[in-house]
């Protein structure tokens, strides 16, 4: 099903590229846009995960540099019956995390230092399990591709605006110069909405459920979501790259988002409630009962510690 979503998304983005190319340069522009879209689609499949990790300055860690985080992740991959992903640390104060990669054999999990500093070991386990669920469900492919293509569409929109404002010649665009410029001013935010709608928001609920099954306790993840959502730390990189917001476990952008078709994530309260109901059904209790952060193995909290 996720492969079908990916195919539909790529086809839609390709059509959008061609339409924008036609508005900019007529038939020649459309053909050029088609070639660019084909190259972008190819590159997105093979390299978009690396681009996102580089964008956030993610630093890869291993068993020697992050033994407890590595061991925890390995144990849960064994429970989930999946390969061990590459692990990355992002030196960012906002507590958050995301997974990326085209398949379980080529996947990565990136965790912010703010998450390791703010959450208990059990809560971190819940977050890691959620990200492993995305990998196992193959959500990560469409997540990385949409992030890349959304940025590309915005870039093309900016080029169209510049082209329309700096050229008034009557070439094969006919009367589409001004129209194209106006259209691009509208298409940039519209492209973001297309990305948000293209990714089924139900994947977050499914990843929450599977993540709870992987870590063994829904309340661990529910508690983590509540703490992450309660953080008011700004993620500067995400603010400058909003097309990547949907990849994180919770929206990293400032401002509240409603639980509707145009939001990147389901409402956090609804996600927590679903996990609490799952915990009650399993007989593990429904109250959050936050676990106190453990001083080891994550180290001292806040700046100055191993992850600060």
Q: Catalytic residues, which ones?
A: 131
Rounded to 10 degrees, what is the CA torsion of 204, 248, 227, 86? 100
Rounded to 10 degrees, what is the CA torsion of 96, 101, 107, 108? -30
How remote is the C-alpha of 302 from its chain's centroid? 25
Tokens 């971190």 appear where?
Answer: 124
Q: Token pair for residue 228?
A: 């992450």
Q: Token pair for residue 207?
A: 């990843």
Q: Token pair for residue 34?
A: 């088609």
Give the Å distances, CA to CA, from 56 to 21, 35, 114, 131, 238: 30, 28, 14, 17, 8
């Amino acid at each position: 099903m996720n492969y079908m979503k990916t195919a539909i998304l790529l086809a839609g983005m390709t059509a959008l590229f061609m339409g924008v190319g036609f508005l900019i340069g007529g038939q020649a522009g459309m053909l050029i846009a088609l070639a660019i879209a084909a190259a972008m689609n190819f590159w997105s499949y093979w390299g978009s995960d690396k681009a996102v990790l580089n964008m956030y300055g993610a630093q890869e860690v291993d068993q020697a540099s992050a033994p407890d985080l590595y061991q925890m992740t390995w144990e849960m991959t064994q429970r989930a019956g999946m390969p061990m992903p590459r692990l990355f640390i992002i030196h960012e104060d906002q507590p958050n995390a995301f997974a990326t990669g085209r398949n379980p054999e080529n996947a990565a999990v990136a965790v912010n230092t703010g998450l390791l500093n703010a959450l208990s070991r059990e809560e971190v386990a819940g977050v890691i399990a959620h990200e492993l669920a995305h990998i196992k469900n193959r959500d990560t492919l469409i997540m990385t591709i949409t992030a890349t293509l959304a940025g590309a569409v915005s870039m093309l929109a900016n080029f169209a605006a510049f082209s329309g404002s700096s050229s008034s010649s009557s070439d094969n665009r006919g009367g589409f110069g001004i129209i194209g410029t106006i259209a691009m001013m509208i298409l940039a935010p519209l492209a973001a909405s297309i990305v948000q709608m293209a990714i089924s928001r139900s994947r977050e609920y499914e990843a929450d459920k599977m993540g709870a099954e992987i870590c063994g306790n829904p309340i661990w993840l529910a508690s983590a979501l509540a703490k992450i959502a309660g953080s008011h730390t700004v993620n500067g990189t995400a603010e400058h790259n909003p097309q990547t917001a949907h990849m994180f476990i919770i929206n990293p952008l400032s401002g509240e988002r409603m639980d509707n078709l145009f939001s990147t994530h389901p409402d956090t309260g609804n996600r927590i409630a679903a996990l609490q109901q799952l915990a009650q059904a399993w007989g593990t209790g429904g109250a959050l009962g936050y676990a106190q952060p453990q001083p080891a193995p994550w180290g001292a909290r806040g700046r100055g510690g191993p992850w600060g």
